[in-house]
């Protein structure tokens, strides 16, 4: 159960210390958010303890209405840097001592913060002004079929000295739009935050709402959710690897990868009615029925071919040469910035919510996370290759026992939902957290800290000291969602 019960209060001046103390005792930071509370607002910083079955716990900081500035916690816990900037844009609350006073979410100064009229300075790119350094802006509209984002490179010769990104072009204000809605209306919006990670968002929403309702889904429903989450990882990782082949100019391997992805999407459509698995996980609703043996039979030859395709890709010396040593990150950089998922595991950090905060049908089934230590584009690719094989093992094992698992409709609590809870899942790109606060069955605050939001700062760090021509490859080696990040 992830209903928020372990909440400790801190004053604005004590918040940095409180966050530092929790991090020092080994608790992991999940996300920071702000919400209205009484006449004022409050900051909520959520943590979890890896390896513990305890629900995420929180530090709550009440900010009275007359207060417009609180001390930043960035010096105490660097990974809160984007969370605080987002809060500043949305609520107009300043964080004293934050190293970056630029807007993040709403770069256009004509847009006032939605929850508060307090002004925030406009966004501007950070560009190195030194002699011979050239500023190369790229985007937000790109040459290929990709999402919108803008990159500002400061280069000298071919070398990127510094990269700054302006994201949030796809910011749709989904969190604010969810306020006032009931769960059923929220589901269709939450699952459309991002098509690549939709199952992880659906699962996190379901976990949060079911915690508030005090019910645990039947075993078969939990098992089907695992299958759906792992299918999403398969589709995502196969696509990411195909895109890396494209980044290394290997057209045949790209097209073979795209063909595999197309076949997987078609199988998903055949068995679950949607190519991207929209509408497959509903809070407190039993999982869809489907032919488990038929799905396993469809996936078997497909995954066999995928494994052979990955063998060919990773055996290609040109592919290895192209990725090795490119966009290298250290585990210290990843830890400081709060990186998650394959990007973190590629630097030797064995973090994976499926094991660290076991949920749903995962306990007892997952093995040790796939880890590489080089921290470069090659390591990120290799982690994905290993995870494809592991996801297929999980799917195969669960499908084999699915029909023997009990499934009955859970008794839905007649009481309207009240309170705050979190939901989470290990999305294809890493740990993804949702927070929901409800009053009388209506959402009063919703917040999503996606894996992409956590990892975008890593891309900027990893791009420095590499040739600008390698940026597309570095970017693809993270393959982050803009939609997930921007919301």
Partner 1 sequence: MDDHIRSTVRRSLQLRHVDCGSCNGCESELALVFSPRYDGQRHGIDMVASPRHADAITVSGPVTVQMQAALARTYDAMGQPRGVIALGDCAIDGHVHASGYASGTGVQSQLPVDLKIPGCPPPPDAILRALTSFMGR
Residues that bind partner 1 (CB under 8 A): 106-108, 111, 114, 140-141, 143-148, 168-174, 176-177, 188-189, 192-196, 198, 239, 255-256, 258-259, 261-262, 265, 269, 275-276, 278, 481-483, 486
Pairing between strand 28-37 and 40-48? Answer: antiparallel
* Contact assessment for residue 428 and residue 230, using Cβ atoms and an 8 Å cutoff: no
Rounded to a whole number of angstroms, the minimum distance from the CB of residue 88 to partner 1 is 16
Rounded to a whole number of angstroms, the minimum distance from the CB of residue 99 to partner 1 is 24
* Contact assessment for residue 377 and residue 327, using Cβ atoms and an 8 Å cutoff: yes
Rounded to a whole number of angstroms, the minimum distance from the CB of residue 68 to partner 1 is 21
**In whole angstroms, how far apart are CA 283 and each of 144, 193, 440?**
37, 17, 17
Q: 47 has which bridge partners? A: 29, 57
Q: Which is nearer to partner 1, 3 or 36 (CB)?
A: 36
Q: Which of 390, 431, 376 is nearest to 244 (CA)?
A: 376
How far the first Cα of the chain sits from its last, in Å, is 26
Q: Which is nearer to partner 1, 239 or 432 (CB)?
A: 239
Rounded to a whole number of angstroms, the minimum distance from the CB of residue 120 to partner 1 is 15
Rounded to a whole number of angstroms, the minimum distance from the CB of residue 307 to partner 1 is 19
Q: Which is nearer to partner 1, 15 or 271 (CB)?
A: 271
- Torsion, Cα 388 238 170 158, to 10 degrees, reads 110
Q: Which is nearer to partner 1, 140 or 467 (CB)?
A: 140
Rounded to a whole number of angstroms, the minimum distance from the CB of residue 259 to partner 1 is 5
* Contact assessment for residue 230 and residue 391, using Cβ atoms and an 8 Å cutoff: yes
- Reduce the DSSP state of residue 154 to 3 states and report it: strand
Matching residue, tokens 């299918």: 231
Q: Which is nearer to partner 1, 126 or 275 (CB)?
A: 275
Q: In residues, how long is the chain?
A: 487
- Copy the structure tokens of residue 142: 């790109």
**In whole angstroms, how far apart are CA 10 and each of 5, 17, 37?**
15, 9, 15
Rounded to a whole number of angstroms, the minimum distance from the CB of residue 384 to partner 1 is 17
Rounded to a whole number of angstroms, the minimum distance from the CB of residue 446 to partner 1 is 12
Q: Which is nearer to partner 1, 38 or 144 (CB)?
A: 144
Q: Which of 387, 248, 386, 251 is nearest to 317 (CA)?
A: 248
Neighbouring residues of 143: CB distance < 8 A, sequence distance ≥ 6? none
Q: Which is nearer to partner 1, 164 or 486 (CB)?
A: 486
Q: Which of 361, 217, 359 is nearest to 288 (CA)?
A: 217
Helical spans, DSSP H, in 273-291:
none
Q: Which is nearer to partner 1, 193 or 292 (CB)?
A: 193
Q: Which is nearer to partner 1, 239 or 422 (CB)?
A: 239
Q: Which is nearer to partner 1, 223 or 306 (CB)?
A: 306
- Reduce the DSSP state of residue 426 to 3 states and report it: strand
In this structure, what DSSP letter does residue 3 have?
A: B
Pairing between strand 150-156 and 159-166? Answer: antiparallel
Rounded to a whole number of angstroms, the minimum distance from the CB of residue 276 to partner 1 is 6
Rounded to a whole number of angstroms, the minimum distance from the CB of residue 136 to partner 1 is 16
């Amino acid at each position: 159960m992830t209903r928020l019960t372990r909440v400790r209060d801190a004053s604005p001046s004590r918040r940095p210390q409180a966050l530092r103390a929790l991090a020092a005792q080994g608790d992991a930071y999940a996300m920071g958010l702000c919400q209205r509370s009484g006449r004022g607002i409050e900051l909520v910083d959520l943590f979890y303890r890896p390896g513990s079955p305890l629900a995420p716990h929180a530090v709550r900081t009440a900010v009275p209405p007359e207060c417009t500035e609180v001390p930043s916690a960035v010096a105490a816990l660097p990974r809160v840097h984007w969370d605080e900037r987002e809060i500043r844009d949305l609520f107009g609350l300043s964080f004293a001592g934050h190293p970056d006073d630029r807007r993040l979410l709403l770069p256009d100064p004509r847009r006032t913060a939605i929850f508060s009229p307090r002004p925030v300075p406009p966004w501007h790119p950070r560009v190195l002004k030194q002699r011979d350094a050239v500023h190369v802006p790229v985007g937000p509209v790109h040459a290929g079929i990709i999402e919108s984002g803008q990159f500002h490179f400061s280069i000298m010769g071919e070398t990127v000295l510094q990269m700054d990104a302006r994201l949030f072009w796809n910011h749709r204000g989904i969190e604010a739009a969810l306020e006032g809605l009931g769960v059923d209306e929220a589901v269709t919006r939450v699952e459309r935050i991002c098509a690549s990670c939709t199952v992880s968002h659906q699962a996190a929403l379901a976990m949060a709402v079911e915690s508030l309702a005090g019910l645990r889904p039947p075993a078969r429903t939990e098992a089907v959710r695992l299958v759906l989450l792992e299918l999403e990882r398969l589709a995502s990782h196969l696509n990411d690897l195909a895109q890396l082949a494209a980044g290394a100019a290997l057209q045949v391997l790209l097209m073979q990868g795209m063909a595999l992805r197309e076949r997987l999407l078609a199988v998903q459509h055949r068995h679950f009615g949607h190519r991207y698995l929209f509408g497959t996980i509903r809070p407190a609703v039993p999982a869809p029925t489907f032919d488990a043996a038929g799905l396993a039979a469809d996936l078997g030859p497909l995954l066999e071919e995928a494994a052979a395709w990955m063998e060919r890709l990773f055996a290609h010396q040109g592919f290895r040469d192209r990725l090795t040593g490119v966009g290298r990150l250290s585990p210290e950089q990843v830890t400081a910035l709060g990186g998650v998922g394959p990007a973190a595991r590629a630097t030797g950090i064995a973090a994976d919510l499926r094991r660290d905060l076991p949920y749903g049908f995962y306990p007892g089934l997952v093995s040790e996370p796939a880890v590489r230590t080089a921290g470069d584009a090659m390591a990120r690719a290799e982690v994905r290759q290993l995870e494809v094989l592991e996801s297929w093992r999980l799917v195969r094992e669960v499908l084999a026992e699915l029909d023997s698992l009990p499934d009955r409709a859970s008794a839905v609590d007649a009481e309207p939902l009240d309170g705050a809870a979190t939901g989470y899942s290990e999305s294809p790109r890493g740990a993804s957290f949702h927070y929901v606060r409800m009053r009388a069955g209506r959402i009063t605050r919703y917040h999503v800290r996606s894996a992409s939001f956590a990892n975008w700062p890593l891309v900027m760090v990893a791009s420095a000291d590499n040739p600008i021509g390698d940026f597309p490859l570095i970017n693809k080696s993270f393959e982050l969602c803009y939609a997930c990040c921007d919301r």
